[in-house]
Structure 1
Amino acid sequence: MKSILKYILISVILFGIIPSASAQFGKQKKADALYNSFSFVKAIEVYKEMLANNYNTDYSKRRLADSYAMLRDPENASVYYKDVVKQDKVEPEYYLNYALALRALKKYDESEIWLNKYKESGVVDSRIEKIMQDKNFLTNIFQIKPQFFSKEVPFNSELSDFGAFERNSVITFASSRDKGVGIKRTYSWNQQPFLDLFQITKNGDNHSEAEKVKGDVNTKFHEGQISISKDGKTMFFTRNNYTNNKKGKDAEGTNNLKIYRATLDKDNKWTNITEVPFNNTNYSVGHPSLSVDEKTLYFASDMPGGFGKSDIYKVSVNDNSYGTPVNLGNKINTEGSEVFPFVHSDGNLFFSSDGLQGLGQLDIFTTVLDGDGNIQEIINLGSPVNSNMDDFSFFLNESGETGFIASNREGGKGDDDIYGFDRIPPFEIKGTVTDAINKQPIPNAKIVIKDKDGNIIADFITDEKGKYKFAADRETTYNLEASQVKYNSKSKVGDTRNTKGKPHIIVDFELDPVQDVDILAGVNVDNIYFDFDKQNIRDDAAIELDKIAYLMNTTYPTMAVEIESHTDSRGSFTYNEALAIRRANSTHDYLISKGVNSNRIKKFEGFGEYSLVNDCKDGIDCSESAHQLNRRSIFKVLKMK
């Protein structure tokens, strides 16, 4: 078997249902008893004998197909599913099982035929929509420039190895290599030894020999996926329901999974083994992953109330107390199996799923988060992380540059093998576009990205804060151009060479306003406002006038302006004309006091209440804030050469 399923969630059947045993004759009773106790290797032998004797052939083929599917052997499973789907009144689930087996063999076109057949049967299953929604998915995902580059690790065995987790140069992983066991016990599912936790110490490219972890963690049943705290002193791990030398079973006799907690003592032994309180004998809880702040534990479970065969949950952690588990919802969870969550230090969640659009069986996915940490998108990590077989137990180190996965893909040493990878972390060029005069951000500026040959790669618009960013390749040179209708464009080079260890480079732009348009509007100079029946320059008005003075004294020594001042409607026309003139004079005098030559202020006139900006005329009841809008001085920049 490709033995991930002996550990994933033992009570969960990924490829079909278990029909009730109803045969009256000894051979079928024996085969069904083996099947229902997850002894698939032995069950296959008996079902094949039944088939050879031409006994209950349709039933035998269904059981053989499901047994091979449970052993993650799609090649043999597809042989029997091909006949099963032709049987009269076959359950529609077998159309899906056959389609998934074909996908695992990279027979995607043929798989789609049976996915459509399953869909046409009337079964409501969101997995099918997700698998079929993008006809170009496979083409696109193979064309994505890879971030991950796989490499072999020296500590795989000829059996099953997975779940590698590294902390402080110690790599801990699950293995069925059965090292050091005198009496060899095997797991009936696939006739392999039970899983234990092993560890090696890494020193550069060198690794120590694998040894079982010390302490009380390993038992005579399965131990698996772990998560270790930042200080290295607390470990959450998965184990079969086995406490105080007693094996727990549910009502149907299944020994489910539980999460346990251990602490590291002064002798570097894992002791003080305790269960988490949300375990349950009647369903599986496993695959723990602790968040970077160690306040949340993520895990997988087939507990009642989920969306599918197994879902991903989270629960709050506070020392030795825990909250109530929360399902992560249907953006992540499907009718299939979601397992092996891993939360990286940047907050992104990685997990395996056979219910989302993938390359084969279980694929590894990651989340894309918004600024508030909400999930915006689910992304398939693509090749070489994912294959047409099972890919799972993702781990990424804190720097985001190296990690491990496990897979039962072709070419491995054993059933499930650990693969290391180097990752080129995502890289960004980002920056801010600002006004060269007043240093204010320029929204809606256009950023054009070109390659070294001048070909346009992409273009972006700055946000309300004048910011932009784009995903860039490392070891590349880009040409960036920033422009906006009221500004002169500017070009810069974005050089991403020699950026190892850096997540981004910053390329900022300062744009100069063009001189044949309204410069003041282009540099965000506002009108200035006055208090009721006053002509003095307020503090907020002084800020705007200082901007104009700076422009005229430094950047635009030939610029000339006109000033128009206004009042609200309260008071007589004659009084308001005189008040507006006093406001124009105050505005003029302030600019002169800041060094502006009076010859460059071509006009400064008062217009009283003749040019109201709203309906606040005489006799209209308006708020003070509405009247305020009319008590103003405005500026006009004369056209410049």
Structure 2
Amino acid sequence: MKLKNSSLTTLFLLVTIACFSQYGIQKKADNLFNKYSFVDAAETYKSLIEKDFNSDYATRQLADSYAFMRNPDSAVVYYKKVVEQENIPVEYYYNYAQALRGSKNYEAYRQWMTKYKDEGGIINETYLSEDKNFLESIFNAKQQYFLSEIKFNSKYSDFGAVEHNGNIYFTSARDEGVLTKKTYGWNHEPFLDIYKTNKSDNDTVVNHKSKLKGSINSVFHDGPITISKDGNTIYFSRNDFNKNVLGKDEDGTTNLKIYRATLTDGKWKNIEELNFNSNTYSTGHPALNNDGTKLYFASNMPGGYGGSDIYSATIAADGTIGKPENVGAIINTSKNERFPFVNSENVLFFSSDGHQGLGLLDIFASVTNKEKKITHVINLGVPVNSAKDDFSFSLNQDGLSGYFASNRDGGVGSDDIYAFDRVPQLYLEGTITDNKTNVAIPEAIINLLDLKGQIITTIKTDKDGFYEVSIDRDSDYKLQVIKEGYVEASRPISSNKMDQKAFKLVEDFKLSQVEKVKPIYPFVELPPIYFDFDQSKIRNQDISELDRIVDLMTNKYPEMVIAIESHTDSRGPTSYNKTLSIDRANATYQYLIDHGVDKTRIASYDGFGEEKLTNACDGSIKCSREAHQKNRRTQFIVSKIE
């Protein structure tokens, strides 16, 4: 009996020791997770799952670890198990949906986002309802960006490429030199440094010898950068590391800060921390505007819209930097906006996982109105964006080439730099003026038609007679210009064989005013009457005008002689239209005779079919019913009055 009790005691002790051991492993995993050492944390959580110890919790943490490592394909596997658990926080439905989107499973993404909404989650319902149309428009859009290989990518993270004076500056974790002893727990890669290589040396191996000279690079993260136009000032991100001391907040987290350095004797020196940095939040990803008067950056400082936001701060002539201002809710969302870039036209580009995109971080551009205020943002589409993270977009001075980074499938390392050439959107533009006075004609209607005569789009000229409309390259069109009081004009337009770097095709028009036929007697005006389609019967609404003509000819001007000319529109066979117009002339003639006009007072009455159209509706273009109606008419020409 004692032996049996001793065995039970031993068994209890073994179980207790095993439990304490598993609790110790879980505590270790949580410590790694809280210190952003997600690679090691993931492996530790896996061991807990294998031993079936608190596996529901470990599965949630493992899924989150893969999400933080920007590995949605692995995250999906474990989030799928998480959402089958009971009483899970609603945020896991959202996390699962985002991982599914990052894995290109868009239909399942919509299902789980709907589940998230139904369980009380807050979402942009417009994005969700329009997601399928958004994806179709993105994938069916004509390609503007064409990618080319960057041969100096490494097996580690490479991003943040900007070009200046023939050199490419970029950020990389590639340093595997003998002096490198630290790795970043988040992804087990070396810490980031800033490198420079000549653009023409794409085939050259870029190693530690290409690091920026001076004291910019530290033993922790450095980069990305932005550089002034004269090349003498650089702004860069760095871990909070000053005078060999690594700063931390109350939770033990080291934040990012932005620093400035100047070039002296070929080396970067005089490093100074910017005044808006803080030990309690991060500031990073600096970007200068075109004239160097504003610095844009990303930060999770208090008072934003959520996650990290884009901010700007003015730079005075003496280098003093003003108070940061949030760029606003059109750019920033409740999620994360990062990696701003401003081109030579001061268009703001940035990455976000809060705007409607293809997966994780997508690259967007801001759109401004005439007052230079941001009105909305546009997704740059494929191939710039993918289902994975796409970020650190930059344009070169030509505005047609540049770089971005992505962790998409098929790369060399965890993040890779991609170069691109952009074929700009082609615009057809011009000015409409009076051919005699050269005065601009506002509110003129511009119809862009395909070769079948179908209207593609319609716009109007502005107060200066100017119009602009986007067109496709290597395409043929017809352009029609309509303005009341002027003769319609049209001509064929072709964008075939245009230079791929050209961005506009100019077509100006000079319109001629419609010549008004002056009656022989100035007080006599005889407007035309009109007919319904394929009809020669006098319309009720035209009887009053015919009665007026009868009155003029029988009472007021008893010597007046007129000629009757009838017409049709262009629809129908030519021979048929000729006959129809004669029938209209006969009907008009008969009405006047029946109501008292002497036959001798009508010099002639004849039909001209579709020979004398009043506009361009000759069958080569698509016209409205109203435009065709103007051709179905009988005109009265005063040939004699005494």
- How would you bin the TM-score normalised by the shorter chain? 0.7 to 0.9
Letter in 2 for 1:32: D
Letter in 2 for 1:397: N
Comparing 460-469 with 399-408, greater Cα deviation is found at: 460-469
- Answer yes or no: is the 8 Å Cα contact 1:285–1:301 preserved in 2: yes
Shift of 1:517: 7.7
Q: Any idea what the Cα deviations from partners look like across 1:310-355, whole Å, max 9, x if unmatched?
A: 1111111113211111111111111111100001111111100011
| Matching residue of 1:350 | 349
Comparing 61-70 with 83-92, greater Cα deviation is found at: 83-92
Comparing 183-192 with 498-507, greater Cα deviation is found at: 498-507
2:154 matched to 1:175? no
| Matching residue of 2:243 | 244
* 1:205 to 1:190, Cα distance in 2 relative to 1, 3 A: closer
| Matching residue of 1:509 | 509
Comparing 439-448 with 372-381, greater Cα deviation is found at: 439-448
Shift of 1:468: 0.6
Which runs of 5 or more residues in structure 2 are unaligned?
A: 1-19, 519-636
Letter in 1 for 2:340: P
| Matching residue of 2:582 | none
Q: Aligned partners of 2:425, 2:202: CA distance in 1, in Å?
A: 25
| Matching residue of 1:396 | 395
Q: Any idea what the Cα deviations from partners look like across 1:238-260, whole Å, max 9, x if unmatched?
A: 11000111110000000110001
* 1:401 to 1:96, Cα distance in 2 relative to 1, 3 A: same
Which runs of 5 or more residues in structure 1 are unaligned?
A: 1-21, 519-638
2:378 matched to 1:386? no
Quote the sequence identity (%): 48
| Matching residue of 2:24 | 26
| Matching residue of 1:118 | 116
Comparing 414-423 with 424-433, greater Cα deviation is found at: 424-433
Q: Any idea what the Cα deviations from partners look like across 1:78-133, whole Å, max 9, x if unmatched?
A: 1111111122221111111000000011111111111011111223344x643544
1:494-573 equivalences under 5 Å are 494-496=493-495, 497-516=497-516
Per the alignment, in what secondary structure is the counterpart of residue 513 of structure 2? coil
Q: Aligned partners of 1:414, 1:347: CA distance in 2, in Å?
A: 32
Shift of 1:479: 2.8
* 1:376 to 1:47, Cα distance in 2 relative to 1, 3 A: same
Q: Aligned partners of 1:42, 1:73: CA distance in 2, in Å?
A: 15
Of 147, 154, 168, the residue aligned with 1:150 is 147
Per the alignment, in what secondary structure is the counterpart of residue 307 of structure 2? coil
Q: Aligned partners of 1:367, 1:441: CA distance in 2, in Å?
A: 32
Q: Any idea what the Cα deviations from partners look like across 1:392-422, whole Å, max 9, x if unmatched?
A: 0001112211100100000000100000001
2:464 matched to 1:465? yes
Q: Any idea what the Cα deviations from partners look like across 1:561-591, whole Å, max 9, x if unmatched?
A: xxxxxxxxxxxxxxxxxxxxxxxxxxxxxxx
Task: Tell me how many residue pairs correspond in the alignment.
Answer: 500
2:193 matched to 1:196? yes
Q: Aligned partners of 1:469, 1:23: CA distance in 2, in Å?
A: 72
Q: Aligned partners of 1:408, 1:289: CA distance in 2, in Å?
A: 22
2:355 matched to 1:368? no
Shift of 1:203: 2.8
Letter in 1 for 2:360: Q
| Matching residue of 1:159 | 156
* 1:371 to 1:288, Cα distance in 2 relative to 1, 3 A: same
- Answer yes or no: is the 8 Å Cα contact 1:240–1:255 preserved in 2: yes
- Answer yes or no: is the 8 Å Cα contact 1:475–1:499 preserved in 2: no
- Structure 2-normalised TM-score? 0.75
| Matching residue of 1:609 | none
Q: Aligned partners of 2:202, 2:74: CA distance in 1, in Å?
A: 39
Q: Aligned partners of 2:353, 2:216: CA distance in 1, in Å?
A: 30
Q: Aligned partners of 1:258, 1:472: CA distance in 2, in Å?
A: 45
Letter in 1 for 2:333: T
Shift of 1:24: 9.3
Of 182, 186, 192, the residue aligned with 1:185 is 182
1:221-236 equivalences under 5 Å are 221-236=220-235
Q: Aligned partners of 2:52, 2:205: CA distance in 1, in Å?
A: 54
Shift of 1:70: 0.6
Q: Any idea what the Cα deviations from partners look like across 1:267-300, whole Å, max 9, x if unmatched?
A: x211111111000011100000100021111100
1:99-118 equivalences under 5 Å are 99-118=97-116
* RMSD of Structure 2 on Structure 1 (CA): 2.3
* 1:23 to 1:150, Cα distance in 2 relative to 1, 3 A: farther
| Matching residue of 1:534 | none
| Matching residue of 1:61 | 59
Q: Any idea what the Cα deviations from partners look like across 1:191-226, whole Å, max 9, x if unmatched?
A: 110010111102387667451111111000001111
The higher relative CO (CA closer than 8 Å, separation ≥ 6) is in 1
Letter in 1 for 2:304: G
1:590-609 equivalences under 5 Å are none
Higher radius of gyration, 1 or 2 = 2
Q: Aligned partners of 1:469, 1:256: CA distance in 2, in Å?
A: 47
* 1:52 to 1:438, Cα distance in 2 relative to 1, 3 A: same
Per the alignment, in what secondary structure is the counterpart of residue 79 of structure 2? helix
* 1:304 to 1:151, Cα distance in 2 relative to 1, 3 A: same
Q: Aligned partners of 1:297, 1:155: CA distance in 2, in Å?
A: 29
- Answer yes or no: is the 8 Å Cα contact 1:515–1:640 preserved in 2: no
- Answer yes or no: is the 8 Å Cα contact 1:201–1:208 preserved in 2: no
- Answer yes or no: is the 8 Å Cα contact 1:202–1:208 preserved in 2: no
- Structure 1-normalised TM-score? 0.75
Shift of 1:471: 1.4
Letter in 2 for 1:100: Q
Q: Aligned partners of 2:336, 2:638: CA distance in 1, in Å?
A: 69
* 1:439 to 1:304, Cα distance in 2 relative to 1, 3 A: same
Q: Aligned partners of 1:109, 1:405: CA distance in 2, in Å?
A: 28
Q: Aligned partners of 2:25, 2:161: CA distance in 1, in Å?
A: 42
Of 68, 71, 77, the residue aligned with 1:70 is 68
Q: Aligned partners of 1:117, 1:470: CA distance in 2, in Å?
A: 42
Q: Aligned partners of 2:21, 2:289: CA distance in 1, in Å?
A: 50
Shift of 1:452: 5.2
* 1:205 to 1:438, Cα distance in 2 relative to 1, 3 A: farther
Q: Aligned partners of 1:382, 1:449: CA distance in 2, in Å?
A: 26
- Answer yes or no: is the 8 Å Cα contact 1:432–1:441 preserved in 2: yes
Comparing 470-479 with 483-492, greater Cα deviation is found at: 470-479
Comparing 377-386 with 182-191, greater Cα deviation is found at: 182-191
